[in-house]
Amino acid sequence: MNRIFTLAVTILSFTMVCAQDHTHQSSRAFFYPNIDGYVTLKADLHQHTVFSDGNVWPTIRVQEALRDNLDAISLTEHLEYQPHKADIPHPDRNRAYHLALAEAKDHDLLIVPGSEITRSEPVGHSNAIFITDANTLLGSNPESPFKEAKKQNAFVFWNHPAWHAQSPTGNPMMGDFQKERIRNGELHGIEVINSVDYAEESLALALEYNLTIMGTSDIHGLIDWDYTEKGNHRPITLIFAKEKSLESMKEALFKGRTVAVYNDLLVGKPEYLKPLLQACIEIKSASYLPNTTVLKVELTNISSSDLLFENQMEFNFYDSSPVFKIEAGETKTLHIKTLEKLTSVPLRLKALGAFTAPKAQPLIEWSITAE
């Protein structure tokens, strides 16, 4: 009987601890280093709850974000598409934001007010974030939500333009409507990664029209079920802000200081992607093997993404392929045949999983000082 009682108490205590710790970071927590002059903020700015077509309460989104060590989220409920309205009537379209804000009040998580403008083609779907009132975005004509968002000084980005339900070819269609929104200062960004889809064509549009590059989960179910249990991280946007605040984050988005990330895929403009990759790799040691001109270099990947590189140096490797991977949090040892002993060696690698333009992969360089 005592053993049964002890077991029951143990199980009850474990259950209580789990309930208390549900917002703590998990082993899947994201980490990406800061770059020179900026703080790297990890954000997922396209998510849904039961207040539109999602399957969870807003508090769950906050708890998931805390487990993932995110810095900011936005619950962008559909304005025009409300399939749960009969069960959860809510005349105030800001309700999900307020519930998330209350859940996050004792945590260092930024909650960005936002909504999704949901119209048929050629308008498509767009997220307006940093809004002041979602209710006023419910306009009668296609242009009115964008004009109202501009009045609220919102940042607006084009959602999943390559989604097959919007574009049967799987390629985004930049129409007159989007071009007019850009000219009017009513469209500022574009998703190049949405859910599991990376669209090179969307990246091309981002570069051609100077739109901010975005990556989002567009989650409707649970992050655990849709991503983690499948061995994936949720897609996020890395935002390079001057400080961790809503104001600084908004300024960075308008300036286009972002990199979109999904697992080992990183997409961004070279002025932000290259310093990020440089900061992700730390040179732990560099010394010549005894009585040789073979330089042993230990590289540690301090980011949450596995990074794939190809040697672009004038020197070859002694005992490994010119293409190699450094897994997240792991250390890789390279043996470089420098042919003579050098005090300084430029380590030059192509980042094969990173893109600054369609099919364009950046060259990253570190300066190695041999001991």
Q: Is 301 left (phi over 0), alpha (psi -120 to 50) or beta?
A: beta
Report the candidate in 175, 199, 169, 200 with the shortest Cα–Cα distance to residue 187: 175
The verdict on whether omega for the bond into residue 172 sits within 30 degrees of 0, i.e. cis, is no
Can you name the residues that pair with 185 across neighbouring β-strands? none
CB 73 within 8 A of CB 109: yes
- Fold for domain 276-369? Immunoglobulin-like (2.60.40)
What is residue 14's three-state secondary structure?
Answer: helix
The superfamily (CATH) of domain 22-263 is: Metal-dependent hydrolases (3.20.20.140)
Average confidence (pLDDT) per 10 residues, the chain, 371 residues = 39 40 64 98 98 97 98 96 91 96 97 94 92 94 96 97 77 91 98 95 97 98 96 97 98 98 98 98 97 97 98 95 97 97 96 98 96 84
Which single residue is written with the structure tokens 């800001």?
A: 94
Distance CA 254, CA 242 (A): 13
What are φ and ψ of residue 85, in 5° steps? -65, -35
Give this prediction's pTM: 0.92
Those residues whose C-beta lies under 8 Å from the C-beta of residue 66, and which sit 6 or more positions away, are 23, 24, 25, 107, 109
What are φ and ψ of residue 299, in 5° steps? -115, 130
Q: Return the number of other C-beta atoms located less than 10 Å from residue 23's C-beta.
A: 17
Residue 179 host element (H or E): helix 176-183
CB 39 within 8 A of CB 94: no
Q: Where are the beta strands (DSSP E) in 189-280?
A: 189-194, 197-198, 212-216, 236-241, 258-262, 265-268
b (16+ CB within 10 A) / e for 114-141 = bbbbbbeeebbbbbbbbbeebeebebee
Q: Is the dihedral of CA 48, 54, 58, 62 positive or negative?
A: negative
Per-residue pLDDT, 337: 97
Distance CA 361, CA 270 (A): 9
CATH 3.20.20.140 intervals, the chain: 22-263
Can you name the residues that pair with 367 across neighbouring β-strands? 346
Distance CA 196, CA 185 (A): 29
Q: Where are the beta strands (DSSP E) in 197-270?
A: 197-198, 212-216, 236-241, 258-262, 265-268
What is residue 4's three-state secondary structure?
Answer: helix
Distance CA 288, CA 207 (A): 43
Alpha carbon distances (Å) from 226 to 18, 26, 229, 260: 22, 17, 7, 19
| CA 217 centroid distance within chain | 8
Can you name the residues that pair with 220 across neighbouring β-strands? none
Measure the CA dihedral 20/25/28/34, to 10°: 170
CB 317 within 8 A of CB 335: yes
Distance CA 324, CA 334 (A): 10
CATH 2.60.40 intervals, the chain: 276-369
